[in-house]
Amino acid sequence: MKYRKFGKLDWQPSALGFGAMRLPVIDRNANNIDEPLAINMMRYAFDHGVNYVDSAYGYHGGNSEKVVGKALKNGYRAKVKVATKFPLWMMKTADDYDKALEEQLKKLGIDKIDFYLFHGLAKSRWDKLLELKILNRAERALADGRIGHIGFSFHDSYDALKEIIDGYDNWTMCQVQYNYMDTEIQAGTKGVQYAASKGLAVVVMEPVRGGRLANPPEAVTKVWQDFKPPRNAVEWALLWVWNQPEISLALSGMSTMEQVIQNVDIAGRSGVGILTKDELALIDRIRDAYKGLCPIPCTGCRYCMPCPNGVDIPQNFQIYNEAIMYNNPQMGRAQYRGGRGLTADQQADKCLECDSCVELCPQNINVPEWMKKVHEFLGPPPPKPEATKPAA
C-alpha cells in the first residue's frame, strides 16, 4: 500500500480509503447488508494497509455504521481511522448535533470518531449551520475527545466551497466529488487546488463516478485499447486521481471482494506524478470520447432559467446526457424519478412548449423537443391499456 500526506496532520493515510456506502447487500435490499461478506471485505482491505474507512448516518438505511463497527472489533480499530458524517438534513437545533453524534458513537461501538464531517455541506446548509452556531458544538466535541477532527463533504459550486473554507479556521479536511470527467463540475480541479493551498486534506469521493467510468462503451475503450501498458477503466480513473499531489486519498465504495482486491492492487502501484504526458493526454482523449457521446450540447450556463413553468431544464438535460454517455439508463431513470434533487414538478413532462427558453439558449437547443425525448426515455412507461371484455 502507498501512503500520502493528509493536509497539515502528522499522519499518512493509505492512498485508498474504504467507502462504506455500497456494501454488499442481500436480495437487492439496500438496508439488508451481507454482514459476513462486508466485514471480510473491510478486514481484507485493513490487512493490506488501508487505514481509513468512511461511513455516514444514513448509509444503508442507518446500518452502515453498525457493520463498520463490527469490522473494527478484534483489534482492527487500532489500525484504522474512522470517518463518518453528521446528517445536516436533520439539523433543526444545535442539540441535534450532539444527539446524532452520540447515536453514531454507539452504533460504531467506539468512543471517538477520528474525522466527523458535516454531510453534504452546501451554501444553504452552511448559512443555517452558522445561524444555529453548530460549529460551537463541534468544537466542544473536539475538546472533550468525542471527535478528533472537523471536516465536511461537499456537493456545490466552487464559489460555495471557497466561502465555506474561508469561513472557518479549524477545518482539517474536505471530501469532494472528483474524477477525470468532473474537472469543471462542483469543486472541480480549481476547488481541489484551493482547498489544498489552505492546508486542508482533500478526500476524493466518486473517483470512478459512482461506477459509471468502470464499464465504458465501445467508443471509449477504442481510445486506449492499444495503449501500453494495458490498463482497465478503473485503473485509469484511480491513477488519474492519485497522480495529483493535492489529493490525500481516494474513497472507493466497494460491493464485492473482487473490487477490494483489484483496488488494493491498483493503490499499491499509485503515486504522485507517475503518469506520463502521453498517458495524461490519453485521459484527455478518453474524456473527449465520453463528451462526444453527449446528445444534448447543454453547457449548464442556466441562461434558460428560471423556466416560467418550473422545469429544471439543465438538470433534466444532465441526467439524460449522463444516462446516454455512461450507457446506464437504469441510473438515469432512478435519478429522474426521485434523485438528484429533481422534483416531479421540475421534470421534463411539465414543459408547456412556451419557447421562451429557446430564445435564450446560446447553444440554439430546441428545448421543448428535447424535453419530450427526455421524458420518453427517463419517465415511467405508459400504462398498459386495459383489455376490453367481449360483449356478452
CATH of 16-285, picked from 3.40.718.10, 1.10.10.10, 3.40.50.720, 3.20.20.100, is 3.20.20.100
Asked if 45 and 264 touch (Cβ cutoff 8 Å), the reply is: yes
3-state secondary structure of 315: helix
Predicted model pTM: 0.87
Averaged over 56-60, what is the pLDDT? 94
Residue 9, classed as helix, strand or coil, is strand
- Backbone torsions φ then ψ of 25, nearest 5 degrees: -125, 170
CA 311 to chain CA mean position, Å = 25
Whether 178 contacts 192, CB under 8 Å? yes
Distance CA 331, CA 323 (A): 7
Reference 136, options 168, 166, 111, 104; nearest CA is 168
Percentage of the residues of the chain whose pLDDT score is greater than 70 = 97
CA torsion sign, 148 to 206 to 119 to 173? positive
Question: Are the CB atoms for 91 and 54 separated by under 8 Å?
Answer: no
d(CA 336, CA 378): 6
CA distance 38 to 60: 12
Confidence of residue 392 (pLDDT cuts 50, 70, 90): low
Residues 6 or more apart in contact with residue 327 via CB below 8 angstroms: 215, 216, 217
Alpha carbon distance 135, 36 (integer Å): 37
Q: Which tens digits make up the pLDDT trace of 194-241?
A: 999 999 999 999 999 988 899 898 999 999 888 988 899 999 999 999
Domain ranges of the chain: 16-285, 313-378
Mutual angle of helices 64-71 and 95-108, in 10-degree steps: 40
Given a cut of 70, whether residue 61 has pLDDT beyond it is yes
Mean pLDDT for the chain overall? 93
Q: Are strands 25-26 and 147-154 parallel, antiparallel or unpaired?
A: unpaired
What is the mean predicted confidence (pLDDT) over 262-279?
97
- Quick one: cell of 57? 448516518
Site of grid cell 477490494? 260
**Residue tagged 464559489 (cell numbers):** 159
pLDDT at 126 over 60: yes
Q: What are phi and psi of 31, to 5 degrees?
A: -90, -10
In sequence order, what are the residues at sequence separation of 6 or more whose Cβ sits closer than 8 angstroms to the Cβ of residue 28?
Answer: none
Backbone angles phi, psi at 353, to 5 degrees: 55, 45
pLDDT tens digits along 75-114:
999 999 999 999 998 899 999 999 999 999 999 999 999 9
Asked if 83 and 108 count as a contact pair (C-beta separation under 8 A), the reply is no
